Amino acid sequence: MIFTSSIWPAPAKINLFLYINSRRTNGYHNLQTIFQFLEYGDQLMITPRIDGQINLLTPIIGIPNNENLIIRAAKLLRDQLPNYFSYHGADLLLKKNIPIGSGLGGGSSDAATILVALNKLWQANLSHDVLIKLGALLGADVPFFINGHAYFSEGVGRLKYPVYPVERWYLIVNPNINISTALIFRDPDLKRDSPVRSLRELLRIPYSNDCEITVRRLFRKVDKVILWLSQYATSRLTGTGACVFAEFDTKKSAQQVLKQAPIGIKAFVARGINVSPLQIFSQKYFYK
Show which residues are catalytic: 13, 141
Separation of alpha carbons 29 and 193, rounded Å: 11
**DSSP secondary structure letter of residue 245:** E
Separation of alpha carbons 75 and 142, rounded Å: 15
Separation of alpha carbons 92 and 88, rounded Å: 13
Separation of alpha carbons 130 and 132, rounded Å: 5
Separation of alpha carbons 247 and 141, rounded Å: 22
Angle at 144 between CA 203 and CA 65, to 5 degrees: 140
Separation of alpha carbons 282 and 116, rounded Å: 8
Q: Give the closest residue to 184 by CA, choosing from 257, 232, 239.
A: 239
Q: How far is CA 134 from the centre of its chain?
A: 16
SS (H, E, C) 32-54: EEEEEEEEEEEEEEEEEECCCCE
Separation of alpha carbons 94 and 256, rounded Å: 31
